[in-house]
Chains A and B, each alone.
Chain A
Amino acid sequence: MKEIFEILEQNGRATPEQIATMVDKPVSEVEKIIKQAEKDGSILKYKAIINWPKLGKEEIWALIEVRVAPQRDVGFDAIAEHIYQFPEVYSAYVVSGTYDLAIMVKGKNMQEISNFVTEKLAPLERVQSTVTHFLLKRYKENGEIFHLPREINKRLPITL
């Protein structure tokens, strides 16, 4: 069963028929497993990984370290929830180490991100400090490598 999800994780467009062939199970069974997983939240969503810069769309990203004061009963959850609801926040994590929350923020330009930090994030009562790192170059994301050089054919076209 795990294999079905591994295949979907690699290729969200794999059809139940294709998957059924690959894992050697009836199509109906694969369909049932996928439907169930979609229903119970094991599969959250199907998305495409878009290489926006290639399409000419400028984007700017920042990784922000946030130190916060945890709250009684809810720990970091309440403040994390408060922060991740801003649409600028793309990902949010609680981390171990010298700061508490790591958030990935995306904006049209540097100004937009700096506005978010100075006007929305930093003024929050429970936020003690922030450190903003602008991303200069993306190499790999979600297991996918960006900026691949044009693949040269490493294999001979036919070998015995």
Chain B
Amino acid sequence: MLNTKSAAPKTRDSLISQKVATLPPSGIRKFFDLLSSLEDVISLGIGEPDFVTPWHIREAGTYSLEKGYTMYTSNSGMPELRQELASYLELRYGLSYHPENEILITTGSSEGLDLTLRAILNPGDEVIIPDPCYVAYPADIILAGGVPTLVPTSEENNFVIRATDIESRITKQTKAILIGYPANPTGAVISEKEANAITELAKKYDLLVISDEIYARLIYGVEHICFPTLPGMKERTILISGFSKSHAMTGWRIGYVAAERRFIQALTKIHQYTMLCVPTMAQIAAIEALRNGEAEIEKMIQEYNRRRRFMVKRLNDIGLPCFDPKGAFYAFPSIKATGMNSEEFAEKLLRTEKVAVVPGTAFGTCGEGFVRCCYATSLPNIEEALQRIDRFIRKSRLNT
């Protein structure tokens, strides 16, 4: 118990907020250290494109520096960029967001998510998320004063969250459902039917849907379900996306949020007191990306798709069953047949064959028995990595 009247000096720990002190660190620290001590590692553990940002976009960024665009922009983002985004969302999904007050440019979609949660949550409010999910979801909810409600998902359903599982966990404190399809870490996409079932719940219980659609463009052979386009959902969806995955722009840190005016106003309040605005160079590059980036996106999608088919087939062939992931750049094979748990598998694979994958448990307890393999790396790398994994599995079979 802390005695506030005591004159004793505070210990170092007490200078850190309890919320932060108790927040678990990301589950891959150990791998990071191990990885850096090894040579010749092939990493399937990276969560970003291997492509460099297309040259015309980089060139727009450097040109902006040459021209001296080095000042703040409007808090919400450059008007031209918001206008381009409004046109993009209209053209692509038939969505109409007003560029002036329904779109906010953020420092990556990560800031968009953080702002959204801080803007909507009161202490103790609950947010529903799937397990497994992107690592920042539960952490950001906790940091915003909320409580994450984990909804287990399973392989039978390709790890897509089911409305029935959500409904049984809705309480008076539930405020929002936070989902992201195509999904990290599973590569799963949501079907219209599954999405509609969720929207019915949102309407029935007056919940918000926070839809993280950062992987929307990386989708193979199916149509992307954009949540605000579903009947009655535009007014209760906060759409979060960005340029990192679609245009290979992770390091630029630029994304956006589109939602009704009342939400964007609330988010902008926090944004203006914290980030002020997104780096001007990144905004100018993003304008170029929207105006002239489609051809490059198509090329990248085609290349990802080839690698995707290759990886999924090989994984299945070597005895790591894997459903067909129709989005993002991840495969999420089951490693249960090896008798190892996810962490053990990932660590042994890294030590003996020097292939890095991410244990499914880094994304939630329901990720146990699975590992995330990213195919955003060259085909020769994928080939070599899968040969090594094959050898690893054969050897471990002999040893058991």
Q: Which residues of A contact B (CB under 8 A)?
A: 3, 7, 11, 18, 21-24, 154-160
Contact = CB atoms under 8 A, between A and B. Distances in A.
For this complex, into which size category does the number of interface residues on chain B fall?
A: 20 to 34
B358 A160 contact: yes
Contacts of A159: 45-48
B234 interface: no
A158 B356 contact: yes
B162 interface: no
B244 to A, nearest CB: 11
A22 B32 CA distance: 31
Nearest to B220: A24
Contact of B310 (A21, A155, A160): A21
B322 to A, nearest CB: 14
Interface of B: 26, 28, 31-32, 35-36, 41, 43, 45-48, 50, 52, 134-135, 184-185, 302, 306-307, 309-310, 313-314, 356, 358, 362-363, 379, 383
A154 B51 CA distance: 10
Nearest to A22: B306
Contact of B309 (A22, A155, A156): A22
Contact of A157 (B45, B184, B302, B306): B45
Contacts of B313: 21
A157 B52 CA distance: 16
12 contacts: A3-B306, A7-B306, A24-B309, A156-B46, A157-B32, A157-B43, A158-B356, A159-B45, A159-B46, A160-B134, A160-B184, A160-B362
Contacts of B46: 155-159
Contacts of A160: 26, 28, 47, 134-135, 184-185, 358, 362-363
A142 to B, nearest CB: 18
Contact of A158 (B43, B307, B310): B43
Contact of B48 (A3, A11, A21, A155): A155
Nearest to A156: B46
Contacts of A158: 28, 31-32, 35, 43, 45-46, 356, 358
B26 A23 contact: no
A160 to B, nearest CB: 5
Given A21-B313, A155-B48, A160-B184, 20 more contacts: A3-B306, A11-B379, A18-B310, A18-B383, A21-B309, A22-B310, A23-B306, A23-B309, A24-B309, A154-B52, A155-B46, A155-B50, A157-B32, A158-B28, A158-B35, A158-B43, A158-B46, A159-B45, A160-B134, A160-B363
A100 B309 CA distance: 47
